[in-house]
């Protein structure tokens, strides 16, 4: 699994005050994405609303895209942390339950997490459900598509928590599953602002049936 976060910031905050400034800038970036969209987002306004000098912004982020990349990685980390907590709390021991919770957590973040409707795990969506801004499918890493990175992080979680076999077949199946879920959930949020419940259920059904061929019946 690639460590992407290490290369996101120009420099890592060494002090608590610096770390808090970085978090404030990411928080304001997320709010501005909801309020005005990606095209209207500016580094100057993010710095102003976060209460930091513009020079401080550029100490940590190279540009607007670097800021949004850092936000997407924070979103992905938050999603995985929340999913792991839900899996533990629900005492899920098989992948079918994990599929349900993963989709539910993603939908919940789409509905409630600032900026997540515009930038979830990298793709920039000018309108709910896409289409995505050209080129943003590789926002996290120029060498890999965002969904490949998401699948890789999910694989690590599934192997660790559910004891799934770490095989090339699992890697491939998860990439296909993430791509399929991405497409269907985009459709769900294009169909209805909060996500069409029937399409969300269809996404879960699709994932269960597809993954049963690779992970066995849960």
Q: According to the model, what pLDDT value does residue 77 have?
A: 96
Q: What is the reported pLDDT for 92?
A: 77
Position 3 scores a pLDDT of 40
Residue 84 neighbours by CB under 8 Å, 6+ apart: 157, 161
Give the pLDDT score at 94: 76
**Which domain range does residue 40 map to?**
5-215
- CATH code of the domain containing 197: 1.10.357.10
Provide the number of structural domains found in the chain.
1
0.75 exceeded by the pTM?
yes
pLDDT at 214: 72
Q: Are 9 and 22 in contact (CB under 8 A)?
A: yes
Burial class from Cβ neighbours inside 10 Å (0-12, 13-18, 19+) for residue 79 reads: buried
Residues of the chain with pLDDT under 50: 1-7, 218
pLDDT at 153: 94
């Amino acid at each position: 699994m690639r460590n992407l976060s290490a290369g996101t910031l120009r420099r890592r905050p060494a002090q608590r005050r610096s770390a808090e400034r970085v978090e404030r800038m990411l928080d304001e970036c997320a709010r501005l994405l909801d309020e005005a969209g990606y095209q209207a987002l500016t580094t100057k306004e993010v710095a102003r609303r976060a209460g930091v000098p513009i020079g401080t912004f550029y100490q940590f982020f190279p540009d607007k895209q670097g800021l949004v990349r850092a936000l997407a990685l924070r979103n992905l980390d938050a999603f995985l942390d929340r999913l792991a907590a839900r899996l533990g709390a629900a005492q899920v021991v098989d992948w079918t339950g994990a599929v349900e919770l993963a989709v539910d957590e993603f939908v919940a973040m789409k509905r409630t997490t600032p900026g997540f409707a515009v930038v979830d795990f990298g793709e920039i969506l000018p309108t709910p459900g896409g289409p995505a801004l050209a080129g943003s499918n590789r926002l996290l890493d120029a060498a890999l598509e965002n969904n490949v990175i998401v699948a890789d992080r999910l694989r690590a979680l599934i192997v660790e928590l559910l004891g799934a076999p770490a095989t090339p077949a699992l890697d491939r199946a998860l990439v296909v599953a993430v791509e399929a879920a991405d497409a269907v959930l985009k459709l769900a949020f294009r169909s209805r602002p909060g996500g069409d419940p029937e399409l969300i259920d269809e996404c879960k059904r699709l994932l269960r049936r597809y993954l049963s061929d690779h992970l066995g019946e849960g």
